[in-house]
Structure 1
Amino acid sequence: MNKQETYEYLKNSNIDYEVVEHEKVFTIDEVDELNIPGKEKIAKNLFLRDDKKLNYYLVTLPAHKKVDLKSLRKEIGRRRLSFAQNKDVENILNVTAGSVTPIAVINDVENKVISVFDEELKNKVIGIHPMENSATVFISFEDLIKSIKDYQNRIIICKIK
């Protein structure tokens, strides 16, 4: 699914969203440099794996938060976590490393990925990439969760420290 197909999917699913096109960004620091409305709502995403490479975790949290992987592992009751390789991002989520987005789990045909969200995002509008890092889609957290559930992906909502 590419950016245009993401927009069509959201529209066909009757999900309200707003799009802001911008130059490509690869880090949350680059997002900070952009002069776009609503940038304080943009979430950051981390693609992690366990030490056996059996499970993958797409972690979404407010941009200002840091993640302690040891605390996260305990919070979600999993094995030791580390960052997944870029080839895993491309093979499993079908996006490039700079375009990781929680909605990319719909490309995970083997359901290897567990979506992990910081509870701070609940009841908010958040900004995510639409499969490409040249735009940001603002969508309600609840609609995002519904989209992920529609594809039978597993979800954990927890307090990320």
Structure 2
Amino acid sequence: MSLPDACAPLFAHLERLGIATTTTTHPPVRTVGEARATYTLLPGVHCKNLFLKDAKGAVVLVVCPHDRVLDVNRLHRRLGPAVGAKRLSFGKADLLMEVLGVEPGSVTPLALINDRDRRVTVVLDAEMMAAEVANYHPLVNTATTAIRTADLRRFLDSLGHVVHVVDLAAPPG
């Protein structure tokens, strides 16, 4: 199985930054439950991604370990005023495609390469970022890419995104 041409700009950008990754292809996985079968393929933290929006149109991408339990209805309290979003809900598929250029089931922080207007507020789980390596889809759900978390941060910085690292395991404040 090979990666679609749509992934080429992402990997070219990572290469320009000198960021090494390891990508493994697999059958499509759309949910954390389906992805569990791939967890033995790559070491590191396996992650889930929540594409959210608030009533005023703010868009938030929350990235955390796959087993992190989050209450979307109360998540805005945990994120606090630095993020600024109020009462979050899941973003629709058309908004996801418009902003990140991916389909549901393929959400990933690597898709921020497509957010040229920097509409997305990026929230990364502190525990995930403390790990050496984390795993994300490379714009498609037929592959998983392992990347050092320090390199993920460098990638996001290169795109001009403001990143909020939040302890999502802590009780809401």
Contact persistence 1:100–1:129 (CA under 8 A): yes
Q: Return the letter of the residue paired with 1:64.
A: D
Cα distance 1:47–1:35, how it changes in 2: closer, same or farther (>3 A)?
Answer: closer
Do residues 56 (structure 1) and 64 (structure 2) align? no
Give the TM-score taking structure 2 as reference length. Answer: 0.85
Q: State the number of aligned residues.
A: 160
Contact 1:49 1:81 in 2 (8 A): yes
5+ long unaligned stretches in structure 2: none
Show CA shifts across 1:136-156 (max 9, x none).
110011111111111111211
Q: Return the alpha-carbon distance in structure 2 between the equivalents of residues 44 and 64 of structure 1.
A: 8
1:40 deviates by 6.0
Equivalence for 1:47: 51
Matches within 5 A, 1:119-158: 119-124=126-131, 125-158=133-166
8 Å Cα contact 1:47/1:84 also seen in 2: yes
Report what 1:99 is aligned to. 106
**What is the TM-score when the length of structure 1 is the normalising length?**
0.91
Give per-residue Cα distances to partners, 1:35-72, cap 9 Å, x unaligned. 6423662211010001221x101110000111112442
Provide the aligned C-alpha RMSD in A. Answer: 1.7
Q: 2:95 aligns with which of 83, 88, 93?
A: 88
- Name 1:108's counterpart in structure 2: 115
Q: Residues 55 and 88 of structure 2 are in contact (CA less than 8 Å); yes or no, is this contact kept in structure 1? A: yes
Q: Which 4+ stretches in 1 moved above 4 angstroms?
A: none
1:26 aligns with 2:30: yes
Shift of 1:7: 2.1
CA 1:6–1:36: 2 relative to 1, 3 Å? farther
